[in-house]
Amino acid sequence: MSSLKKTLMKQGMKLMTDPRVMKLMQDERVMKALMTAMSVPGKVQSFTSEQVQSLAKAMALATEDEVKDLKRTVRRLEEEMARIERQGEAADGSKKKKRE
């Protein structure tokens, strides 16, 4: 795959040195069209993710991000519970030693 990328880069550099291409790249309309074409994949991705989120809300489903947040919260609460239990056991152990 990297050889394909290298080949494409070499061909692109050859094209950029061609005077006809350089003149074409100076045209504002061409540059505007190229910029628009390059932004399409990002726009499509954001549009689809927005549609998925709105569909999930409409169907009362949890999104992937919400599930991740929930898992993170549960893990944090479990760790806190384990810490509190350890502190409680340590306190119980010290009380027993004092009684004896």
What is the residue range of 97's domain?
Answer: 62-100
Angstrom distance (rounded) from CA 28 to CA 66: 43
DSSP type of residue 18:
S
Is residue 66 one of the residues assigned to a domain?
A: yes
Domains: count for the chain: 1
Asked whether 15 and 9 are in contact (CB, 8 A), the reply is no
Is residue 36 one of the residues assigned to a domain?
A: no
Is residue 40 one of the residues assigned to a domain?
A: no
How many Cα neighbours within 13 Å face the side chain of 13?
Answer: 6
Is residue 76 one of the residues assigned to a domain?
A: yes
Angstrom distance (rounded) from CA 85 to CA 88: 5
Q: Where are the alpha helices (DSSP H) in 1-100?
A: 2-17, 19-25, 28-58, 64-99
The tens place of each residue's pLDDT in the chain, 100 residues long, gives 688 889 988 988 888 888 888 888 888 998 999 899 999 999 999 999 999 889 988 999 988 889 999 999 999 999 999 999 999 888 777 666 665 5
Asked whether 68 and 74 are in contact (CB, 8 A), the reply is no
pTM of the model: 0.48
